[in-house]
Chains A and B, each alone.
Chain A
Amino acid sequence: MTALIDTEDRTELDAAANRELGARSRKLLFSLLRPYRTRVILTLVANLVHNMAILAGPLLIAAAIDRGVPAALRGDTQVLVLCGVAYAATSILSAALHGVFVMQLNRLGQDVLFDLRQRVFDHAQRLALSFHESYTSGRLISRMTNDLRTLWDLVDSGMDDMIMSLITMVGVAAVLITLDAPLALVLLLSFIPILLITRWYRRVSVELYRATSSSMAKAIVHFVESMGGVRVVQSFRREEPNERTMDGLAGEYQSAWSRSMVTLGTFMGSIRFSGNASIAIMLLIGAYQVHDGTLQLGVLTAFLIYLRRFYDPLDDIAMFANAYASASAAMEKISGVLATEPTVADPENPVPLTKARGEVRFTDVRFRYGPDTPQVLSTLDLHIPAGQTVALVGETGAGKSTVAKLVARFYDPSEGTVSLDGIDLRDLADTDLRRAVAMVTQESFLFSGSVADNIALGKPSASRAEIEAAAAAVGAHGFIAALPEGYDTDVRKRGGRLSAGQRQLVSFARALLADPAVLILDEATSSMDIPTERAVQSALETVLTGRTALIIAHRLSTVLIADRVLVVDGGAVTEDGAPEELIAQGGAFADLHRTWLDSIR
């Protein structure tokens, strides 16, 4: 996974890596354009005809002056008027076609952008948690906002002129060759410096645009973090240190942009100078040839006039090269995310599971978060029969949450298997697994939107009555009904309108609504007050009947409703039995129980 994206923050790469990135970006671009082949062609045709009409203009002017005026002098104004009308007609045609082109190009660009947006969003959702933990949210946000925007700029800036320029150049080159082939050969020679300059620019600009994209990503990471924690920023007077950090990051971005603008200036200036210098050289050569009598004066004149027409469009092509460099730096990064395979992937041939019973089994499970990190679970063998309520107890860092995350398949075990109803989790389709297993965590993230929407996340098809029933079951109905707009109240950014305990209740209701065969509660009641927690617990006793439950709690009151307690220590289960048994045996759990009794007296 990391091999694809670890180049992301580097700006200078060796030739092989550059080629690989370029190939990957182009492949993505083509795959995006493929569905729109016909429209791409139609758009190009509209532009082609539009440009033909424009090219006809000067010919009509010439005809008007060379033929229309002399004819008018003889008293025949017909030709002149005809030329004028024809000129106006081609202008109207060309303008209309331009309108069509603009519309088509935008539609095409927007459709491609829309597809890409969806693709990146969808892919990011499917990528494993381990990817997200190392990639960070800010960078991903930056990919989906800033980098996608850069791609749009490619369509927005100069695609139009670029196409016209290419057509013009080809047309003019053809005219030049028919005018005087040897002189046209000199023209070809003048392309050597232009190609060299362009090659230089492509290499340098891609590096610079990589720098603008990376530095913007860093600034976005810092921005998102500061705004997300603004409460702490203000409480601990972090404003100034944060501004200094931002000053550094914005400075990096500024200097990268400034350098890329100056480099673009150098590029544009050099291209323009190459063009101008070759005109001067050809002027000299031509003049001597005319002097020697090997070239006609008229041909030279025509040649020079066309020559200028030949080099002018180079500006537009250079501008396009610039937009393209900027877009490919963005494309490299986006394609990197897209090329990352989800490590916790959907199986190709899933084993169907429509109605899970809820039997969970760990067989020889070992787990570590990364290849270089210590082992968190060592050879865990565990069988949880369907319908059993199991509590996991142990100190912070003992591996309780890891067990829960493996059951929810946030991660796959490094060795061994975790199975549900005898089916390896890796063989279950995501939809089947999620229908069977739901998890409530301590952080209880709420999305901005109504309370009802947040509960309905557990089951999007749920009716209002079902939502209210789920809320009532965990004792959340009372406070929700008391909100200004009841279930339709907007909970605001990350549920900021609710207290921590209320957010946990909403998360709880959400999980209940999902009606899973296996319910995982990871510190799901930690912020509730005692009566609320009590209500939740008495609700649990009914709710958990017929379900398998995995409860992680620090409060022993919650643990004691379990059928079975597992004490986890150092990545292994050290005690296993009914709570009463373990207390009677005297051991780690009995000690914990005693401490707890002391604490509440």
Chain B
Amino acid sequence: MRSPSAQPKRSTAASIRRLLSEAYPERWSFAAAIAVTLGAMLAGLAMPLLMRRIIDGPVASGDLTTLLWLSGLFLLAGAIEAGMFYLRRRIIATPVTMLEKRLRLRLFAHLQRLHLGFHDRWPSGQLLSRMGGDLSTIRRWLAMCLVFFVANGTVVITGLAILFYLSPVFGLIELVAMLPMVVISWIFEQKYKTVARRAQDQEGDLTTTIEESVQGLRVLKAFGRGKDRLKIFSAQARALRQSELHKAKLLALLWPLTMLLPEIALAVVLVDGGLQVAAGTLTLGTLVAAITICTYLDWPTRSIGWLLAESNETASAVERYYEFMDTEPSIVEPKRPKRPARPVRGLLRFEDVQFQYPGSDIPLLRGFDLELKPGETVALVGATGSGKSTAIGLVNRLYDVTGGRITLDGVDIRDLGLAELRTLVSMAFEEAVLFSASVRENVAMGSDRPVTDEEIEQALAVAQALDFVRELPAGLDTQIGEQGLSLSGGQRQRLALARAVLAKPPVLVLDDPLSALDVHTEAEVEAALRRVMVDGTALIVAHRPSTVLLADRVALLADGRITVLGTHQELLHSSPEYHRLLSTMEDDVEAEVAVP
């Protein structure tokens, strides 16, 4: 699956600015870190000067009276420098990591709230790579580069100013040598950022392959396709390596250039200065000072190459981050949520509902009309792929209708608070999703209120799950999900069902909830469900006559709408399509294997 990502739109500066606006609350910490870094540089500068004083003074003259005092000063400068080294990290550690954490949590929260359409579209690895790698890149930039960017910039500007003061010609030479850097940086940004972005996207795709290969491991093992998967993985890893090497190639051009330019300037200063000294227009001391400053500027100038690379990398990570953050959830809370009249009766109506998946040419639902009276149970029947699961996903707004409306007690569900709607409508999916938590927690998710063990046990009893849960090593406290005990498909489905019925919701929506159960258990679950569903309205997707029999009425979904509606017996006789869907095989088999 290709990621639907766009090419970079923003400039590096714009992305970095956006990141800095996030760091606004931490601005004083950053300022302090910069100040401390500059302080360390000053202390570092003071030490050789002090050393010279000691050698030229007490040591050369043989008068040791000031030696201790000056050495103490030297030690102090050394201690200050070391202290500043510590402080820079001490100051920055918490703010930077807290900022990273804030960005991470916000992304997680946002992703959880984004509509399913978004999740259908984006490969999982792209989500994970933003959450992991991209945020690490951002943290590294904030912790290292931001501070050095400012500190080194300050040093370069100060150094240049001093050079100009010493000799305008030297200043000019150094400045002219730095000018090409601007052009190089600009070209570099264009090229490097595109590659950096490509590499990050490829890393996301690689992560998708890793994720799927780990999660689909049973299938790969069953067919012995590990090697084929490895080939796909290797091809992607090779592409990523290619991009990384492309980046390296750019760096291998950029870094030597950023190294070379100040050196060439130094060579010119050396020769020109030497000639000036010879001509008597410059003192030797000034020349030595100028050269010293030039060598001092060496690292800050050279670091520009490194900072540029990191900044471009970070800018594209920031871009990727906001690509998600800027996606507005399309399923949103209404501006003024309406509250349905209490008690909620559970009158559920589909009115001329249309639904079309984004990117699909034909609408899946076209004029879907259905009314469920309060307390009624309706089974939704249709051929594989007819849109049954889609239709029920509309009821709690996992997707929004693209036309028509769905109402609950006469109120358009889009006018209800999202949380309230999802409390009123409880769901169980065909593929039972359990989380890494205890059985109790997994079932208790079905309710917003704190629930007692008794209620949980009741719900488990309805789903015929109580017996097996009791036999689990720690009963209700048994850890399940991926990090715990693995349960069979039928057991998972029953727990998901227990979760759905726990809160005795006014509207219960079940998507083929018994498909993984054996006949015996299915019959027992059905009997219990029938008792529970007396109060609430229920919509059940069904494939089997046994499940259909739970319902008061059956609706047949074909061609995107409800074509016939009635009881099971009525439809068996009146609708040939329904007959084809629900009776054929069992009748035939029954005829084949007659009971003696």
Is the pairing of A and B real? yes
Q: A573 CB to closest chain B CB, in angstroms?
A: 17
Residues of B within 8 A of A597 (CB): 590, 595
Q: Which of A50-80 contact B (CB under 8 A)?
A: 57, 61, 64-65, 68-69, 72-73, 75, 77, 80
B87 on interface, CB distance cutoff 8 Å? yes
Question: Quick check: A64 and B518 within 8 Å, CB to CB?
Answer: no
Instruction: Report if A226-B222 is in contact (Cβ < 8 Å); known contacts: A102-B248, A114-B237, A499-B389.
Output: no
Size of interface on A: residues with Cβ below 8 Å to B? 183
A2 on interface, CB distance cutoff 8 Å? no
Instruction: Report if A273-B55 is in contact (Cβ < 8 Å); known contacts: A126-B226, A133-B486, A597-B590.
Output: no
A83 on interface, CB distance cutoff 8 Å? yes
Q: Which of B67-91 contact A (CB under 8 A)?
A: 67-68, 71, 74-75, 77-79, 81-83, 85-90
The segment out of B190-198, B347-355, B577-585 that lies at the interface is: B577-585
Q: A479 CB to closest chain B CB, in angstroms?
A: 5
Residues of A within 8 A of B486 (CB): 133
Instruction: Report if A103-B385 is in contact (Cβ < 8 Å); known contacts: A225-B481, A490-B1.
Output: no
B430 on interface, CB distance cutoff 8 Å? yes
Question: Quick check: B385 and A501 within 8 Å, CB to CB?
Answer: yes
0/1 interface trace, chain A 99-120, chain B, CB 8 Å (1 if under): 1101100110011011001100
A235 on interface, CB distance cutoff 8 Å? yes
Residues of A within 8 A of B592 (CB): 560
Question: Quick check: B270 and A87 within 8 Å, CB to CB?
Answer: yes
A557 on interface, CB distance cutoff 8 Å? yes
Bound-state CA distance A392–B518 (Å) is: 12
Q: B168 CB to closest chain A CB, in angstroms?
A: 20
Bound-state CA distance A288–B64 (Å) is: 8
Question: Quick check: A265 and B89 within 8 Å, CB to CB?
Answer: yes
Instruction: Report if A531-B580 is in contact (Cβ < 8 Å); known contacts: A237-B448, A592-B520.
Output: yes
B10 on interface, CB distance cutoff 8 Å? no
Question: Quick check: A228 and B584 within 8 Å, CB to CB?
Answer: no
Secondary structure call for the B interface: helix
0/1 interface trace, chain B 496-511, chain A, CB 8 Å (1 if under): 0001000000000000
Question: Quick check: B398 and A502 within 8 Å, CB to CB?
Answer: no
A94 on interface, CB distance cutoff 8 Å? yes
B7 on interface, CB distance cutoff 8 Å? no
Question: Quick check: A502 and B520 within 8 Å, CB to CB?
Answer: no
Q: A457 CB to closest chain B CB, in angstroms?
A: 6
Residues of A within 8 A of B100 (CB): 254, 257
Bound-state CA distance A121–B237 (Å) is: 11
Instruction: Report if A502-B109 is in contact (Cβ < 8 Å); known contacts: A77-B278, A397-B468.
Output: no
Question: Quick check: A113 and B275 within 8 Å, CB to CB?
Answer: no
Residues of A within 8 A of B215 (CB): 137, 228, 445, 494
A433 on interface, CB distance cutoff 8 Å? yes
Question: Which residue of B1, B488, B519 contacts A401 across the interface (Cβ within 8 Å)?
Answer: B488
Question: Which residue of A84, A225, A280, A300 contacts B270 across the interface (Cβ within 8 Å)?
Answer: A84
Question: Which residue of A220, A234, A269, A557 contacts B85 across the interface (Cβ within 8 Å)?
Answer: A269
Residues of A within 8 A of B517 (CB): 396, 554
- Nearest B-chain residue to A150, judged by Cβ: B136
Question: Quick check: B422 and A236 within 8 Å, CB to CB?
Answer: yes
Q: Which of B274-313 contact A (CB under 8 A)?
A: 274-275, 277-278, 284, 287-288, 291
Residues of A within 8 A of B446 (CB): 236
Bound-state CA distance A136–B211 (Å) is: 11
Residues of A within 8 A of B445 (CB): 236, 238
Residues of B within 8 A of A145 (CB): 128-129, 132-133, 203, 207, 210
B319 on interface, CB distance cutoff 8 Å? no
B435 on interface, CB distance cutoff 8 Å? yes
Instruction: Report if A237-B423 is in contact (Cβ < 8 Å); known contacts: A262-B89, A291-B59.
Output: yes
Question: Quick check: B109 and A243 within 8 Å, CB to CB?
Answer: yes
Q: Which of A290-317 contact B (CB under 8 A)?
A: 290-291, 297, 300-301, 304, 308
Question: Quick check: A141 and B207 within 8 Å, CB to CB?
Answer: yes
- Nearest B-chain residue to A449, judged by Cβ: B1
Across the A-B interface, the 9 shortest Cβ-Cβ residue pairs:
A276-B78, A434-B224, A265-B89, A269-B86, A106-B248, A125-B226, A72-B278, A84-B271, A273-B82
Given contact pairs A96-B256, A138-B482, enumerate 10 new A-B contacts (beta carbons under 8 Å).
A81-B271, A125-B227, A141-B210, A225-B436, A246-B104, A257-B93, A265-B93, A269-B83, A396-B517, A523-B516
> What are some 21 contacts across the A-B interface (CB < 8 A)?
A65-B287, A98-B256, A102-B255, A103-B249, A110-B248, A114-B241, A117-B233, A121-B210, A136-B436, A246-B105, A257-B97, A265-B85, A269-B83, A270-B86, A297-B55, A396-B490, A438-B222, A502-B385, A505-B384, A556-B589, A594-B595
